[in-house]
Amino acid sequence: MGLFRLFDVYKPSVVKCALNLWPPFWGAGIKIITISDDFRFVRIKLKLRWWNKNANRTQYGGSIFSLTDPVYSLMLMGILGREYFVWDKQASINFIQPGDSDLTAEFVISEQYIEEIKLATQDGEKYFPSFTVNVLNSRGELVSQVERTLYVRKKPEYRT
C-alpha cells in the first residue's frame, strides 16, 4: 500500500497491474481479471498449475484462501479514500468441494453497504463490515465460501 500512497496513485488500473505483478498473487497463479472504475466490483481467477496442487492434485487450500486476500480491503480503500483506515480483521473459509479446475471469484460492494459503513463511522467509531465471497470452479459450481471481516474507522482529522 505504501507504493500507492507514495506516488498518490490509487486507480483501478494501477491496482490491477500491481497486484498481478505482486509475487504472492503471481506465484500462486492468481490474476485480477477486472476491477471496475469505481472499485465496487472485482473478478479474480486462480489457475490450476502443477505448483499449486495439493497431494490430491486439486487446488491447494492456501491458494484458494489467498485468492480472497486483500481484495475487500483494497476495494474499500479505493471507495472510501484517504479519510479511512481499512484493514482485514478476520477471515474464515468453508471448503465445499475440491477445486479441480481453474477457480474464479467475484467481489461486490453495494452502494447501500458503502453508505452504511460511512454512517456507522462518521464520528470515528470502529466498524466491522463482513463480506462473503463464493469461489467457483470452471463449471460454475461452488468450491468454497470465504467470509472476511474488515476493520473500518474514519481517521481523526476527518471526523465530525
Distance between CA atoms of 8 and 14, rounded to whole angstroms? 11
Q: Give pLDDT, residue 11.
A: 87
How does pLDDT run across 93-115, given as a tens digit for each residue? 999 999 999 999 999 999 999 99
Q: Which amino acid is at 126?
A: K
Instruction: Calculate what percentage of the chain has a pLDDT beyond 90.
Output: 77
Mean pLDDT of 17-24: 89
Quickly state the pLDDT bin for 10 (edges 50, 70, 90).
confident
Quickly state the pLDDT bin for 9 (edges 50, 70, 90).
low
Nearest to 150 by CA among 62, 45, 79: 79
How does pLDDT run across 66-90, given as a tens digit for each residue? 999 999 999 999 999 999 999 999 9
Q: Give pLDDT, residue 3.
A: 46
Phi, psi of 107 (to 5 degrees): -115, 130
How does pLDDT run across 27-38, given as a tens digit for each residue? 889 999 999 999
Residue-averaged pLDDT of the chain: 92
Torsion of CA 85, 90, 94, 95, to 10 degrees: 80
